Amino acid sequence: MEGESNKRKIEGECEKCHSKKQKRQLYVELKHPKARAPMRATEGSVGYDLYSCEDKTIPQGERCLVDTGVAVAVPGDTYGRIAPRSSMELKGIDLVDHNYIDVKAGVIDRDYRLPLKVILHNCSKSPYEVKVGDRIAQLILERCETPSVILTKLETNDRGGFGSTGRAELTVNKLQ
């Protein structure tokens, strides 16, 4: 058991967050005075809404990091994924010109403890204003495995990838 405890410490996990006695929980620390804890909108919601802790103007066509002011410790067999909120895709949308705000994906590793930041890309033709308290993305916890890497020679097959299943005529050469 002592070896397992040392292993957790080496991997950057804390006993408090991953003790078997503890119910699976998302531990949150507010690192900024204007930060808000991630929250699910309903019991059936998968994602935890993330809120901006700063006012920021994103120029047209630009990408910006927006601070949430929140640090998290995800359960031991999960990682956090930053995902768009459905309504973010619609903010400022012009169906003719395809204007929208895009949330770029992000991964939060089990041992990451700094404040979460979200990359927002303003795809519209005008500046976009982010205000303190705006819901800017969602945090989704996904189970994952991190097995050891074993170097070996793998068997090959004729699969080409890029949607090639069942399409014998598609080869990698046609993509080049």
Would you write out the chain's pLDDT as a tens digit for each of its 176 residues?
444 444 444 344 455 554 454 458 999 999 999 999 999 999 999 999 999 999 999 999 999 999 999 999 999 899 999 998 876 555 544 444 455 778 888 899 999 999 999 999 988 888 989 999 999 999 999 999 999 999 999 888 776 666 656 655 545 454 44
Tally of CA atoms within 13 A in the half-sphere of 1 that contains its CB = 3
- The structure tokens 């080869």 sit at 171
For residue 71, the model assigns a pLDDT of: 98
- DSSP H or E stretch at residue 61: none
Cβ(31)–Cβ(72) below 8 Å? no
Q: Is the pTM of this model over 0.75?
A: no
Beta partners for 143? 78
Delimit the domains of the chain by residue range. Answer: 19-144
In 3D space, the residue among 147, 138, 132 whose CA is nearest the CA of residue 72 turns out to be 138
- The structure tokens 């993305």 sit at 137
Beta partners for 65? 119
3-class DSSP state of 83: strand
Cβ(130)–Cβ(101) below 8 Å? no
The two counts, helices (H) then strands (E), for the chain are 4, 11
Tally of CA atoms within 13 A in the half-sphere of 31 that contains its CB = 14
Domain 19-144: state its class.
mainly beta
